[in-house]
Amino acid sequence: MATRARRTQRRNQVLSREHIIDTAIELLDAGGEGALTVRALTERLATGSGAVYYHVGTRDELLDTATETVITAALATKPAQASATPAEEIRAVALALFDAIADHQWLATRLTLQIIRNPVGPVTVGVFERIGRQMGALGVPQARWFDAASTLVHYILGAVSQNARIEGDTSGVEPAADREEFLGATSAAWQELNPEDYPFMHAIVGQITEHDDREQFLTGIAIVLDGLTRLR
C-alpha cells in the first residue's frame, strides 16, 4: 500500500494540471468534444483516471478549463502599436477571438455556453472587461456602456461562431470541406434565384466567392464602432 501511494505521489508530481489541459485541448482540436473522454485522456497521458480527477475535476470542468485557457490567451493579445486607439484595442481582441475559434473548432459552442451559463466566470468577465473598458474612451455615455459593450460582444460571438463548425451540426457539411467549393456552390444556387424576386441576392452573387472572412469580420466591427461613437 505504501509503495502504491509513493508511485501515485510521484506520478502526480510529474503530471501537472497544465499538461493535462494542453493534452485535452489537443484531443478537442483533433476530434471535437466527442474525442475528449477520460479514457482517451488517460491513455494519452499514460496515467489513471484518479490523477485526472485530482488535477482538473470532472470532464465538464475540464471542458470549461480548456475553454478558459484558450480564451484567456486570446484576451491577452495586444495591438501592434504601443499607443493604440480604443478602436484598435477592440479590433485586436476581436481578431484574437476570431482566430482562436478558427484554430479550435470546438471552441465556438463552449464559449457561447460559458457566456450563457456562467456570467460571473472568468471567460464571461474577461471578454466583457476587455471590450467594455474601451467604451469610455470611445466617448460612449456611461449610462449606455452595458448596451454598447453587449452589442459588440454579441456581434463578435455571432460572427466567429458562424465561421466555425458548431458541435452537433447535422447539416452534412464536412468540417474540412473546401471553402471555395462551398462558396462556389452557394453562388451558383443564388444565381438560379429569380432576379425579380431577389434583386439584392443577384447584386451580391459575385461578391460571395471573393470575400475574405477576416476582412468581412473587421468591416462588421467598424460598423458597430461607428454606431457606438454616435451615442455621444
Q: What is the pLDDT of residues 28-42, one digit of tens each?
A: 999 999 999 999 999
| Residue among 12, 94, 108, 118 nearest 56 (CA) | 12
CA–CA gap between residue 58 and residue 231 (Å, rounded) = 45
| Residue among 135, 159, 129 nearest 219 (CA) | 159
Q: What is the pLDDT of residues 12-68, one digit of tens each?
A: 446 789 999 999 999 999 999 999 999 999 999 988 888 888 888 899 999 999 999
Mean pLDDT over the full length of the chain: 85
Domains for the chain: give ranges and CATH numbers.
1-57 (1.10.10.60), 80-229 (1.10.357.10)
Q: Is 135 helix (H, G, I), strand (E, B) or coil?
A: coil
Residue 174 pLDDT exceeds 60: no
Q: What is the DSSP string of 69-120?
A: HHHHHHHT---SSTT--HHHHHHHHHHHHHHHHHH-TTHHHHHHHHHHH-TT
Asked whether the whole model's pTM tops 0.85, one would answer no
